[in-house]
A and B are shown apart, each in its own frame.
Chain A
Amino acid sequence: MNIVVCVKQVPDSAAQLTVDGGQISWGEAPLVINPWDEYAVEAALQKAGDLGGNVTVISMGKADETEALKHALAMGCNEAVLVSDPALAGSDNVAAARVLAAAIAKVEDVGLVFFGKQAIDSDTGTLPAQVARVLGWPALTLVSAIDELSAEGIKVERAIEEGRQVVTSSLPAVVSVIKDYGEPRYPSFMGIRKAARATIPVWALGELGIAAPAPVVAWPEIMAPPQREIATEIITGGSPAEITATLADKIMAEKVL
């Protein structure tokens, strides 16, 4: 069985976001693989052996957005596909989920689809569950460890607010992976050479056999929050008890609590 891992190309985490005339801009920031997705690629590469198949990395983006895919190839993925179509510009997550599901359906014999926890630009974290829903497959999100994996099924640990949860599922399934999974490998130099030379096929809506999904979310207005002047006051005092008492008084006076 094969594995698919979905990655997104995002601005570097050091980028500064500005809003100009209703348009979001990340400036000149380099575009990189979404950091969370590196963990997903790592999980996919580690588990490929258990299912005996290949790892295909898929990304949905603009026609020239191949850095994330190349990084994943350099880490060791076998194949890469860019899903790109001008009609998909400004897609919301529901549309993206339908498109990715169609792309995944085109890959043969998929047992697992890996996602990172969330994308650092949109920060929604809903796509893995949405893709699973469209595919009709179980969604195992916030996975911190994969305890067992074979064609028969998967057993994972999820990190949820209440603690750890162990879940088993049949395959195929969708998994989103968190940092606890383990540090992603660096691309190897040979992987870098292969990835740099690779030509990545592009699947447009025609290849996927679907029309552009209608968006469900609209953004009537985008603006930056107002700048706040922040004043810092260091509370001093003769002892921790005295300092805490002064701080507590101030907090009550400011009606913060």
Chain B
Amino acid sequence: MNFGLTEEHRMVQRMVRDFAQKEVAPVIQEYDRKQEMAPFILPRMGELGILGICIPEKYSGQGMDYISLGLACEELEAVDTTLRVVMSVHTGLCSMTLWQWGTEEQKEKILVPLARGEKIGAGAFTEPGAGSDFSNIQATAKRDGDDYILNGEKMWISLASKADYALVTVRTSGNTAKPSGGLTAFIVDLTTPGVTRGDIHGKLGVRAGSTGWINFQDARVPAENRIGEEGEGFKITMSAFDNGRYTVAAGATGLIRAAMEASVDYANERKAFGKPIAQHQLIQSKIAHMALNYEAAQLLYLKAGWMKNRGQRNTKETSAAKWFATEKSFEAANEAIQIHGAYGFSDEYNVERYLRNARGAVIYEGSNEIQQLIQASYALGERKDKPLRMEMPAYKEAN
């Protein structure tokens, strides 16, 4: 059993860290305050191949493995969550779902430009009235000749106003035994007439990002854009979350590390009662928890990544990694503020931004309540994963 990172993995870490630290860190606070996404982020991440990091070279991706994807997400979120959100939706939810479930034509036409970063992808599942209760989504698609007509609204969609494509799951049938059986997934060109989108402002965190809504009003989507078969939408969406959720877990691990490093730096500088506060035990306790949780979070997501590399179903492991890392990143950011004292309460320091960002991850990509239900259902023996019609292939290194 080899717990070490390969030389390749360490170089990936370094490269992504250098990009995020050199190009984004100096300006991120400004964009967070303005509630705007820095315009260079998507083009630059595309140019550097980060957006297509784990898509095979055959489809113009960078051909790296799933551990590299996780490491990249950890480094990105250590600077700001918004960078990792890009990976979660463009790579995790959209590109990887196309890779797993798409037809050859869909991959050539859409996955290739997504992998190159020439087009941006998003995932549109949540609605104003349905999040955790996903099988009760209301947006519909009605077959009409060679097309489907889409109607409905999706909300809380990252990159809604920036993306070119979105993986959208809607109801094609109201007559199924279970509501989840009536859902179908589509890859939708967001410039289609009838599609409108807008930004949501006033979010507590992820403010340097782009979150919005997408409205479908009689939007005509060709049947060739349907992913999988009618009725497979629920399974495909859950499958998409195995990938999106993985990036959230890895990213939150980076956030724990960022909170810890900020705390260590501050605690070594700030003096109280005659010595640096790092030498006071109550401060040490907080830092010890961060250090432990960082190690554990990293082990959890790396294991999930290792399983992905082997082509093994990893729903349970990814869910556990997401639950643990996001919960602990919120705790770490909270304690980081406490360690900083009054300065932690000011946006002159990064730690308050870490807390506001961390608060979101506990809610999205499957709330941590849902993750607990998932873990319980496995532990109680109620849930056994059945093989999917299309499985994510094991990682194969290109020659």
**A residues touching B (Cβ–Cβ < 8 Å)?**
32, 70-71, 74, 186-190, 192-193, 195-196
Contact = CB atoms under 8 A, between A and B. Distances in A.
A196 B63 contact: no
Interface of B: 6-8, 11-12, 14-15, 18-19, 48-49, 53, 57, 62-64, 68, 397-398
B59 to A, nearest CB: 14
B18 A189 contact: no
A196 B15 contact: no
Contact of A192 (B8, B18, B397, B398): B8
A10 to B, nearest CB: 15
Nearest to A197: B8
A186 B48 contact: yes
7 contacts: A32-B14, A189-B62, A189-B64, A192-B12, A193-B8, A193-B398, A196-B6
A70 B12 CA distance: 12
A50 to B, nearest CB: 24
Contacts of B397: 193
Nearest to A184: B18
A186 B18 contact: yes
Contact of A193 (B18, B19, B63): B63
A187 B398 CA distance: 18
A196 B48 contact: no
Nearest to A198: B7
A70 B11 contact: yes
B11 A195 contact: yes
Given A186-B18, A188-B49, A193-B397, A70 B64 contact: no
- Most chain A Cβ neighbours within 10 Å, of B11, B15, B18: B11
Q: What are the nearest 5 A-B pairs in CB distance? A: A196-B8, A189-B62, A192-B11, A196-B7, A186-B15
A189 to B, nearest CB: 4
Given A70-B7, A187-B11, A190-B57, 17 more contacts: A32-B14, A70-B11, A186-B48, A187-B15, A188-B49, A188-B62, A189-B15, A189-B53, A189-B68, A190-B62, A192-B8, A192-B11, A192-B12, A192-B15, A193-B63, A193-B398, A196-B7
Contacts of A74: 11, 15
A32 B68 CA distance: 20
A71 B48 CA distance: 16
